[in-house]
Each structure stands twice: as C-alpha cells, then as structure tokens.
Amino acid sequence: QMKTHALGSGFVIDNKGLILTNNHVVEKATEIKVKLEKGKEYTAKVLGRDPKTDLALIQVKPDGDFPKPLPLGDSDATRVGDWVMAVGNPFGLGETVTVGIISARGRIIGAGPYDDFLQTDAAINPGNSGGPLFNMKGEVVGINTAIIAQGQGIGFAIPINMAKELLPQLETGKVVRGWIGVMIQEISPELAKSFNLKDNKGVLVSEVTKGSPAEHAGLKQGDVITGYNGKPVENAHTLPRLVAATAPDSKAKLDVVRDGKTLSVEVTIGNMPQTMEEAKASPEKDQAWGMTVQDITPELAQQLGLDAHEHGVVVSNVQPGSAAGDAGLRPGDVIKEVNRQKIKS
C-alpha cells in the first residue's frame, strides 16, 4: 500500500507538550511527526479530535529544547480592521509569517454545524492549516483553517475562544455537547410581521422534541428565543453553537417572546444524543417544491391569528429560487388545499 504524506501546522499551548491543530490535518494519519523550527522532530499522538469544529489536540513528549507555550488571547475582543499575523508552513516551505487584518467576524462557510469563523486577508495557503493567527499583542486569537479556492485575500480562522471551550474535553478524548431539543428557524420579515415582532432578531421554535429539556422547561412551538445566558441570539446559527458549548446538567437562561410578552425560561441542559435521528423533531420538507411546512398546532394558530381548528399546514421556510419561491409562497402562508384536495397535515 502506497503511503502518502500531508503537511499542516500547529502550536504549543502548554508545557506538557500539548499542540493544537486542525482535525483535518491529523484525522487520517497513521503516524504524526512534529518538526520544530530548528529541525528537531517528535512523534505525536492524538489525544482528541472534533470533526464538527475541525479541532484536534495532539501531544509529544517535551524535553529541554521544547518551545514555550503561546499565550491564548480573547477572540471575542477582536474587531474588524484589527491587524493580525498568520504563521504556518505553507506548501511545506517552512516557517512563514503573513500579515493582514480581520476582514469580518462570524463567517458561516458551510464547513460544519458550528461555523463562526474569523475572516482575514492575511495570506493562508495549503500547509497553514492548524497554525496560529496572532493579534498585535502576540496572543493567539484564531487557528488558521480554510481558504476559498481562487479567492485571493480570503482566509478563515477558528476563533480561539471556541477552542478554549473544547480543550478540557479534547484532552480527555471525548467531546460532549449540550442539547435542549428544539427545531428552530430564521425569522423572516414575513414571520416577524405574522408574530407581531419588532424585528427579525432571534429564532422561531418550530418544533419541541418530546421528553426533551426544552419541553420540561416549558418551551412551546411558536416561541421566539432572543437571548441565551445574557448573549443575544441573532440567528439560527447562534443558538445551536451556544447550547452545544454549555456543559450538560448545567442551567441556562433563555429570553423568550411569547404572545408578545417577554419572559425568562430556565432550562437544564441535556446531553446531545449520539445520533440526532432518535431525537429529531423535523418539519416535513418538500424537496421538489423547495419549502418547509409544519402542522398547525393550537399554539401556532394563536400566534398567526388563525382559527384553532384551522386545517392545513404553515409554510415555515422557502428556499430562494425554488418552485415555491417562484410561485410567490412565503413563510407564514397557510396551505389549505392542493389540487382541490384539503390538506390536514
């Protein structure tokens, strides 16, 4: 069997020989070698990997020549326009430093369920993956991770705060995530109008899983979650990330809008099931039409100002450019008949 070699970067985070890098750098490796700036090599072992955030923690046996750990900064304190430096091993050329700025925060690029990337124009190339992104204080604020093919000056780094939250779990070799058991969706301007909301900030609870922490806490379909433990919930990507980072069995405070009133709901965080299939409460999705619909519950009927015994389904999401979108369907519409056949669910 032919052996292949791959290159990546990483950085030392403590005196025990722990090195932080990307999961995609080490996930298929049968042997990992760490080469320092002066050429000395160490054999490393993987302590923990997390494909969902593309983070991995490896360890070598340090000796007297081992580098000092890098200081970890606060990625939440970074601002668009801040100067940063990316360090890595692009194309296997060796230690390389590039300079740029933070171009954007909170980027979602479809790499995983918890995307929250820092975007930078500091040059990041193959081989840079896993290397540190420094602020001007010499603190690590990100882990260089991804580039866009043919995208000059567009690179992405995982915020170091996300890594710091996971480090204790990566060191044990097992990542456990929090879970509350709700299906959520973005609040479009149409839904905001239907629910008499001031704006489209927050997320709409479209389904609550039976027996879940959310159900035990009293969350209901039609609730709008606007805050989580004092942090604003801006969109449907924010809440899953915040919940997943919360330790199971701990308490979390949700800011909820229900029937036009703001209330606080305390939920005990559960352990995310190994397979979400056993806990998924998924609205029915018509792939051909490009829309998502859900049954009209009494709570949802009240929110939308419908009769409690109204039959049909509510359109909860419409894909741009889909047949449903081209036909003029919008979130909040109620479909009562299809080809003169009444719809009940």
298 vs 140 pLDDT, higher one: 140
Please report the pLDDT score of residue 4 as a whole number: 66
Q: Which two tokens stand for residue 291?
A: 């829309």
User: What is the rounded average pLDDT of the residues 289-310?
Assistant: 66
Domain coordinates of the chain in residue numbers? 11-59, 75-172, 178-279, 284-342
Q: How many Å apart are CA 77 and CA 215, to the nearest integer?
A: 35
Residue (of 174, 203, 144, 134) closest to 9 by Cα position: 144
Q: Which two tokens stand for residue 86?
A: 């990316």
DSSP helix, strand, coil percent of the chain (3-state; round to 5): 15, 35, 50
Task: Check pLDDT > 70 for residue 193.
Answer: yes
- Using 50, 70 and 90 to split pLDDT, how confident is the model at 135? very high
Class of domain 178-279: mainly beta
Please tell me whether residue 295 adopts helix, strand or coil conformation: strand
CATH homologous superfamily of 284-342:
PDZ domain (2.30.42.10)
Q: Which CATH architecture has domain 75-172?
A: Beta Barrel (2.40)
For residues 221 and 208, is the Cβ–Cβ distance under 8 A? yes
User: What is the rounded average pLDDT of the residues 234-256?
Assistant: 91
92 vs 102 pLDDT, higher one: 102
Start-end of H helices in 148-199: 160-172, 189-194
Q: How many Å apart are CA 45 and CA 33, to the nearest integer?
A: 9
How does the average pLDDT of the chain come out, rounded?
Answer: 85
- Using 50, 70 and 90 to split pLDDT, how confident is the model at 284? very low
Q: How many Å apart are CA 136 and CA 193, to the nearest integer?
A: 45
Q: How many Å apart are CA 155 and CA 98, to the nearest integer?
A: 12
* Percent of the chain whose predicted confidence (pLDDT) is above 90: 49
Task: Check pLDDT > 50 for residue 108.
Answer: yes
Taking the CA of residue 148 as centre, how many other CA atoms within 13 Å lie in the half-sphere pointing to its CB?
A: 15
| Residue type at position 32 | I
Q: How many Å apart are CA 268 and CA 246, to the nearest integer?
A: 10
List the catalytic residues: 24, 54, 129
Place of tokens 């072992």: 45
Q: Which two tokens stand for residue 68?
A: 């000092």
Please report the pLDDT score of residue 137 as a whole number: 97
At 218-231, the pLDDT tens digits run: 999 989 999 999 99
Instruction: Answer yes or no: same fold for 178-279 and 284-342.
Output: yes
Task: Check pLDDT > 90 for residue 249.
Answer: yes
For residue 265, list its beta bridge partners: 254
Whole-number Cα distances in Å, 276 to 152, 238, 243, 280: 38, 19, 15, 6
Please report the pLDDT score of residue 314 as a whole number: 78
Please report the pLDDT score of residue 227 as a whole number: 94
For residues 164 and 76, is the Cβ–Cβ distance under 8 A? no
Q: Which two tokens stand for residue 211?
A: 């027996």
Q: Which CATH architecture has domain 11-59?
A: Beta Barrel (2.40)
